[in-house]
Structure 1
């Protein structure tokens, strides 16, 4: 029997996913037969060294890139064969994004940036949606900054605007790509706390790509990639446990799921 993503309690998943770049002897295998899912209502960190495939898997899960082989789902929707237009509509309505570079529209003020997903979808927020947006603005401390454009905001404020935009439509799934990479430590902690709260209080599924052990320690679950494969999948870890595992991986210690990896992560 084939179980759906809903049956499995997953907001997104990939199955036997492979991604290669180039041809012949210059072929690079970014992902190598990966099968993994993002659980509903959970904050998941995806970690790995540079070149491990962590950003590639997020981009394919989000429908921003296509796999060489294998399948990907958002909820129960198999996105593998969808057209660009179908993917665009699906992302707009069911997925939120938070990027390291904030990706705010410089000519729009903070409120217009937050409401951008609705404008792109050709509609205005309903009364219920507007109430949720007002709650987000209050929770994120943006009430006095709504008429400011991005260049008038600090990095932390810009990222809070980006989080409000990502959560405004109450998407099933939020992808965050190094969301604290351009922030100071205090702003970074605030942003991570906000993402964790969205998962905990609103039941939203958060998938965050990061190389930072401190950032990953805020997640409920940590998935480690190396050389295009999932090498460990663990519940919440301390920054020290994560850093120890990453160091062991880089030094060539065993990194496959099993006793050796479990010992490092214990």
Structure 2
């Protein structure tokens, strides 16, 4: 009998995940036999140099892309063989997303954007969900901005709306893809503190792809990818420790190439 993802204490996991692009001599192996889990209630940072496979891993874990081989679970659901429609419904109900570019709908106000997952699902929030949303709006400081459209909000406020939208359905997992990439340093720190609080105070499972050691320093765990493989799995690290590891890894790669 197979042990479930939940029994392993994981929100999501992949097993022997491989992803290749192209054929023949031009083939690129973006992921090479990766097996890893995102622990429930933890804030995990996924790091690595450009081309290491970190974004590909996140996209496959979130059901946005299909692997060449291997298996992927969200909770106890094996999503590997699901149809596009089944994946769309699963993402809408059980996965939250926070993107670098915010990805808010420009014609909707802040509350309309927060409620978008429910509208797409053809339903209204339950009383419990409404209370959760009200709590998110308050904790994110959005109360006076709910009737503003995205162009009337600062970058930091837009990302707060995106975080509220991602957390509104209490998803199994939130994927954050370079969430501070378009923000100034102060707004970036605020957004990272909010994600950290969602994990520590509310048990939200978060996986964040980033190249920024300061951002990764907010995480409980840091996964380092290199050449499509997980090359290190470390508990909380300071930004200085992360930067030193990244530099050493890149120097090591350069040394290997020139040797």
Would you say same fold, with TM above 0.5? yes
Name the counterpart of 1:237.
237
Name the counterpart of 2:79.
79
Name the counterpart of 2:27.
27
- SS of the aligned residue for 1:30 comes to strand
Name the counterpart of 1:221.
221
Name the counterpart of 2:55.
55
Q: CA RMSD in A?
A: 0.9
> How far has the Cα of 1:2 moved from its partner?
2.2
1:113-152 paired onto structure 2 within 5 Å:
113-152=113-152
Name the counterpart of 1:263.
none
> How far has the Cα of 1:117 moved from its partner?
0.3
Name the counterpart of 2:257.
none
- SS of the aligned residue for 2:225 comes to strand
> How far has the Cα of 1:253 moved from its partner?
6.2
User: Take 2:141 and 2:199, find their aligned partners in 1: how far apart are those partners?
Assistant: 19
> How far has the Cα of 1:219 moved from its partner?
0.2
Stretches of structure 1 that go unaligned for 5 or more consecutive residues are: 255-266
> How far has the Cα of 1:21 moved from its partner?
0.3
Name the counterpart of 1:104.
104
Pairs aligned (count)? 254
- SS of the aligned residue for 2:14 comes to strand
Name the counterpart of 2:70.
70
User: Take 2:118 and 2:6, find their aligned partners in 1: how far apart are those partners?
Assistant: 26
Name the counterpart of 2:156.
156
- SS of the aligned residue for 2:141 comes to coil
Q: How high is the TM-score relative to the length of structure 2?
A: 0.97
1:213-258 residue CA offsets vs partner (Å, 9 max, x unmatched): 000000000000000000000000000000000000110169xxxx
Stretches of structure 2 that go unaligned for 5 or more consecutive residues are: 255-259
Name the counterpart of 1:258.
none
1:98-124 residue CA offsets vs partner (Å, 9 max, x unmatched): 000000000100000000000000000
- SS of the aligned residue for 2:252 comes to coil
User: Take 1:126 and 1:17, find their aligned partners in 2: how far apart are those partners?
Assistant: 37
Question: Does 2:166 match 1:180?
Answer: no
